[in-house]
Each structure stands twice: as structure tokens, then as C-alpha cells.
Amino acid sequence: MRSYLMLIAAVALAACGSPAPGGACDTSGFLCSDQTTAMECQLQKWVALPCRGPSGCQRDSNVIKCDMSGNMEGDACASSAVGSGLCTGDGKATLECRHDDSSGTNTLKKTNTCRSCEVKRNTTTGKDEVVCTP
């Protein structure tokens, strides 16, 4: 199963064009700046969020979908993903989106090494969970 991060986009962002990373912003929401990059306004600056998975960055109505299944440790991640995890592309480790108060950034950090890692849907909660087999 692929790891997707679904980001809610304000309709107004669709008409804004493609802002540059580090550029000033005063909005909320997400947009796809190209096929492999989502953008989020974090702390009044645009941050590029890689969508390295095969589905890349796609807009579906008012939802931005960012396929993070190929993302790597150190990649930027969305404010809405802080505390969420995913498997590395090779399925041998877990990554978690963490916020660094000192820099104000959100990045993926390696949290476990696994023999195998997969994302499974919890039938009780209806949410995806990262399962790391040591």
C-alpha cells in the first residue's frame, strides 16, 4: 500500500500560480507547484514538500494528494503530517514527520529499522498504521 498524505487546499490557492519556496505568504492550505512538489505556507513562508511516490502531487477537487511513498529522511513534510509515519521506499525503516521548534521546520526523521515495513488500514479506527517488523 502506498503512503499518501492528503492535504486540504483552499480553492483560492488554485488561482495563485506557483509560488517559490521561501517566498512570503499569508494564507493556509496547499497546492501542487508541479507534478512532484506540493507547497504549504508554514510560518508565513512557502515550503516545498516533495511527493516522490509514483503518483506525485495531484489535485482532486479541493484536495491536494501528495504521494510520499518514495520520500526520504530529511525531506520536508506538511504541518498536518506532524506525528504521522510512513515506510521508507525500500520497506526497511519507518519515517515520522516531526516538528523542530528551534528551526520551525517539519522534516521526516528515521524512527525504526525493520526487516519489513508496510502501511495497513486499521479496520477498527479506519486509519492507516505503519507496521514495522523487527
Q: What is the pLDDT of residues 102-113, one digit of tens each?
A: 988 999 999 999
Give me the percent of the chain exceeding a pLDDT of 90: 77
| pLDDT bucket at 80, cuts 50 / 70 / 90 | very high
pLDDT at 91 over 70: yes
Cell matching residue 17: 500560480
User: How many Cβ atoms from other residues are within 10 Å of residue 119's Cβ?
Assistant: 17
Reported as type and span, the H/E element at residue 59 is: strand 57-60
Q: What is the pLDDT of residue 29?
A: 87
Cell matching residue 125: 479506527
Rounded to the nearest integer, the mean pLDDT of the chain is: 88
Whether the Cβ atoms of residue 108 and residue 91 lie closer than 8 Å to each other: no
Q: What is the pLDDT of residue 101?
A: 94
Order of strands, sheet of 30-34, starting from the edge strand that comes earlier in the sequence: 30-34, 37-42, 45-50
Q: Please give the angle made by the CA atoms of 51, 22 and 4, to the nearest 5 degrees.
A: 15
Q: What is the pLDDT of residue 43?
A: 87
Amino acid of residue 119: V
φ, ψ for residue 80 (rounded to 5)? -70, -10
* Structural domain total, the chain: 1
**Torsion sign, CA atoms 9, 10, 15, 21:** negative
Residue 21, domain extent: 4-133
| pLDDT bucket at 17, cuts 50 / 70 / 90 | low
